[in-house]
A and B are shown apart, each in its own frame.
Chain A
Amino acid sequence: MTTLAGHANAPRGSIPARPSILQQMWTSRADYLYVLPAIVVMLIVIAYPIYYTIELSFFKTPPGLQLRDKIFVGADNYTAILSSEVFWRVTINTVIWTLASTLIAFVLGYGAALALHRDFAGRAVLRAILIIPWVISAVAASYIWKWMYHSDFGIIGQVLVQFGFTDRQPNFIDNVHTVLPSLIVVNIWREFPFAMIMIMAGLQTVPEQLLRAARVDGASTWQRFWHVTFPHLRGVSTVTILLLAVANFNSFIIPWIMTGGGPSNASHIWITHIYELAFGRQRWGVAAAYSVLLFVILMALGYFYVRALSGNEKEQGA
């Protein structure tokens, strides 16, 4: 390959030609060794699954048959999805879940980071306590909250009854109207610490001198935040919101363990629905088509994701 590229450049003679891409690749061949392990693992575990999913989405897999006895059905799986009522229900749930979880977790995390930024006795302890929910397993978190929401002995309902807010023990996660907000509360409980850590890290990069100068100039606390701190944190905030949004869009454990998507699909989001279609009802083709649609949405999100992350890189280079 390289010799070919070398010959192609040779006749140009004295003109100092820009080395071809293949030459560049050859001269930096040793560099690839450093990334090779990562790339090989990625190729095995990403490229093949993506190819396989796209292929499977055009096939029908009759239940009771082996997966390899699939039947080609063209785009039928896609039209079936887009015309089904459940699809729209699940999509609305996913949008509510992703937006509410992301925004509230971000705002709470941002606030906690600001409140913890000032030095005071016991600050490290408070910070540690606030981070714990993010560290423990989502399975454990789901069980803790499921127990607190329990329809007979759940502590939250019992407190509400004891203090006279309701007559009967409310049924948080078996009720189509309250189930999604109840699960979002759990999700935020697990996620706001991530936003808090990111913003705390960002706060350390805000130059002290600027804040002091603003104070000397008579800027109020709010003005110092709005004109100095907030603009400085814009980059971190974008990255944090995107990471949260992607994670929420992809969440699975909390709805799956706590409700399994029920009652009557009220807490199904895309991922749990795909999982149930594939592993619960063996409709692999439809599940694969769902996954492809998900790819498309994620790629759109990914465009912003990469832009936000590479924004950091460009500034580094400058």
Chain B
Amino acid sequence: MTSTSDTATPRSRKGVDGWRWTGRIFLTIMILYTALPMVWMLLTSIKSGFAAMQFPPQWWPTEPTLASYRKLLDPQNSVGQDFLRFFWNSLFVSFVTTVLAVVVAVPAAYAFSRFRFPGRKFLFFAVLLRNMFPAVIFLVPLFILMRVLGLVNTHGSLILTYLTFGLPLAIWLLKGFYDNIPIQLEQAARIDGATRFQAFLLIVTPLSVPGIIATAIYSFIGAWNEYIYAATFLTKNEQLTLPVGIQRFFSENTTDFPGLMAASFIMSVPVVVLFLVLQKYFVRALTEGAVKH
């Protein structure tokens, strides 16, 4: 942007550099906004309770300690026992939800993409509309429903509920994916003697694996992070999932900020790792499914 470059380079070049710098500065600010809270979480989690509450603050812990992590992950003491159980409960509920979501969403999305049955449009939008209604509306009636089904205080109540809020976007994503798989592939298989179901299972499904992975990530993260249903449907301490368990625990120990930050960190690790490893499928599914037309 200096006057010397003005004569040397064409005018458009100057504009490009200006925008590029704007982009860099903007990105730097966004990275700080995004990362600083997470850095502070980590720094706090390796402080002692005393070191966390000082003025002026210890920017860098003078005596870093893993005491909070040791306490949370030690099966010998009661805090660790509870925490590990919450962790296991979350893992179980999220995993079962994910498997079921894929099993239900795949045929539904395929049907919405391929078949032309009456009510198809209506059904599709009914599925999409589910996304619009907040959990609170469904809490009381679902609680009563779960009592009728005998699922109160079981993980089954959560799994059934999580399925329904994961399904709409899952079906939508997968449908877009199927739309892009040429129908000629199936027609060829049909000519070779495959039934429609075989064509679906053996030809189309393997091609839609990236979409299925994206659906699975989405369901898993949704179930892992869900709070409001878990807080309402489960009352027994040994059944709680992580978000509710942590909230209950730290509403009793309000000043243990290193412990709270350590717990938040451990709770974030599985989903962040899962997402980072599989993110290319997710972005690709969005590109091929939801966005391209």
Contact = CB atoms under 8 A, between A and B. Distances in A.
A316 B164 contact: no
B72 interface: no
A116 B34 CA distance: 15
Contact of A135 (B26, B167, B271): B271
Interface string B21-62: 001101100110111011011001000000011111100000
B161 A45 contact: yes
B194 interface: no
B129 interface: yes
B221 interface: yes
Given A31-B115, A37-B108, A201-B290, A140 B267 contact: yes
A63 B37 CA distance: 42
Interface stretch (A10-18, A74-82, A148-156): A148-156
Task: Determine which residue in B119, B139, B141, B243 has the highest number of CB atoms from chain A within 10 A of its CB, and name it.
Answer: B141
Nearest to A311: B293
Contact of A31 (B38, B111, B145, B267): B111
B144 interface: yes
Interface in A111-132: 111-112, 114-116, 118, 126, 128-132
A219 B41 CA distance: 46
A301 B221 CA distance: 26
B136 A130 contact: no
B142 A49 contact: yes
Nearest to B260: A143
B171 A38 contact: yes
A276 B167 CA distance: 28
A197 B279 CA distance: 10
A162 B57 CA distance: 10
Interface stretch (B182-190, B205-213, B225-233): B225-233
Interface stretch (A83-91, A95-103, A176-184, A246-254): A246-254
Contacts of A137: 224-225, 227, 242-243, 264, 267-268, 271
B83 interface: no
B293 A235 contact: yes
Task: Determine which residue in A41, A56, A131, A202 has the highest number of CB atoms from chain B within 10 A of its CB, and name it.
Answer: A41
A38 B127 contact: yes
Task: Determine which residue in B105, B134, B167, B272 has the highest number of CB atoms from chain A within 10 A of its CB, and name it.
Answer: B134
Interface of A: 21, 24-25, 28, 31-35, 37-39, 41-42, 44-46, 48-50, 52-53, 56, 67, 108, 111-112, 114-116, 118, 126, 128-133, 135-141, 143-145, 147-148, 150, 152-153, 155, 158, 162, 189, 192-193, 197-198, 200-202, 204-205, 218, 220-222, 235-236, 239, 243, 246, 249-250, 252-253, 257, 271, 274-275, 278-279, 284, 287-288, 291, 294-295, 298, 301-302, 305-306, 309-310, 312, 315-316
26 contacts: A21-B118, A31-B115, A45-B164, A52-B144, A53-B137, A67-B144, A112-B27, A135-B272, A137-B242, A137-B271, A140-B246, A144-B37, A145-B37, A147-B261, A153-B52, A192-B30, A220-B15, A221-B12, A250-B135, A257-B247, A271-B134, A278-B136, A288-B140, A301-B132, A309-B128, A316-B293
Q: Ordered nearest first, which 7 A-B pairs have the shortest CB separation?
A: A34-B111, A250-B134, A49-B141, A115-B23, A28-B117, A140-B264, A52-B141
Given A246-B132, A252-B134, 20 more contacts: A24-B117, A45-B138, A49-B142, A52-B140, A132-B38, A136-B225, A137-B227, A137-B268, A144-B261, A147-B41, A148-B37, A153-B53, A193-B34, A201-B283, A205-B291, A236-B291, A250-B134, A252-B135, A298-B133, A316-B293
Interface of B: 12, 15-16, 19-20, 23-24, 26-27, 30-31, 33-35, 37-38, 40-41, 44, 52-57, 103-105, 107-108, 110-112, 115-119, 123, 125-142, 144-145, 160-161, 163-164, 167, 171-172, 176, 179, 221, 224-225, 227-228, 232, 242-243, 246-247, 250, 257, 260-261, 264-265, 267-268, 271-272, 275-276, 279, 282-283, 286-287, 290-293
